[in-house]
């Protein structure tokens, strides 16, 4: 399922220029309801997968992440103005992504108790992915479709490695 979501994300990115637009900015257009459905499917899949990977103590973080993603998705983002809803849209979504990486790190730390070698490899992989995302943010200076594709792919592939 992770690979299917990554392929769907890449296919959807061909409908716009990923260097100049991001997926969430396309939600303001009425004919892009497909992106809204894609976003809800991704949020639900990530929630369910992280719910099964995390223990009870980490589930509060997971609930917070899900609420931040959903609230950030429903807040309108206006390309021409910088109002409070646009700021909250970007801020809540970015905070949810940071918390998702923190939760993945906590899950990796917990899995080190049972399989240290595998968890250490996944931790190395996740550190490498976070470094690539930070480099892309510094290179582009803005969140665009390429950064969103890389971020979603890294979250999905890390969850896949943790579940196997």
Spatial CA neighbour of 136 closest among 121, 124, 152: 152
CA distance 148 to 150: 6
pLDDT of residue 82: 75
What integer best gives the mean pLDDT of the chain? Answer: 87
pLDDT of residue 18: 74
Where is pLDDT greater, at 131 or 88? 131
Contact 73, 27 (CB under 8 A): yes
Rounded percentage of the chain residues whose pLDDT exceeds 90 = 46
pLDDT of residue 67: 92
Encode pLDDT of 114-143 as tens digits.
Answer: 999 999 999 999 999 999 999 999 998 888
Written as six digits, the tokens of 102 are 């923190």
Question: Which of 78-82, 91-95, 147-151 has the least mean pLDDT?
Answer: 78-82
Going from the C-alpha of 7 to that of each of 2, 13, 130, 152, the distances in angstroms are: 9, 10, 21, 11
Banded model confidence at residue 34, pLDDT cuts 50, 70, 90: confident
Count how many domains the chain has: 1
CA distance 149 to 62: 21
| Residue 136 lies in domain | 2-163
Mean pLDDT to the nearest integer, 51-57: 90
């Amino acid at each position: 399922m992770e690979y299917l979501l990554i392929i769907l994300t890449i296919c959807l990115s061909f409908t716009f220029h990923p260097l100049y637009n991001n997926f969430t900015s396309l939600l303001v257009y009425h004919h892009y309801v497909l992106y809204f459905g894609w976003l809800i499917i991704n949020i639900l899949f990530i929630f369910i997968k992280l719910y099964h990977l995390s223990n009870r103590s980490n589930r509060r973080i997971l609930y917070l992440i899900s609420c931040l993603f959903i609230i950030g998705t429903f807040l309108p983002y206006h390309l021409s103005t910088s109002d409070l809803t646009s700021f909250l849209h970007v801020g809540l979504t970015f905070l949810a992504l940071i918390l998702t990486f923190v939760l993945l790190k906590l899950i990796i730390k917990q899995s080190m108790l049972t399989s240290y070698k595998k968890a250490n490899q996944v931790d190395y992989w996740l550190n490498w992915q976070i470094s690539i995302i930070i480099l892309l943010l510094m290179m582009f200076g803005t969140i665009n479709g390429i950064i969103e594709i890389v971020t979603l792919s890294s979250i999905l592939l890390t969850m896949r490695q943790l579940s196997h």
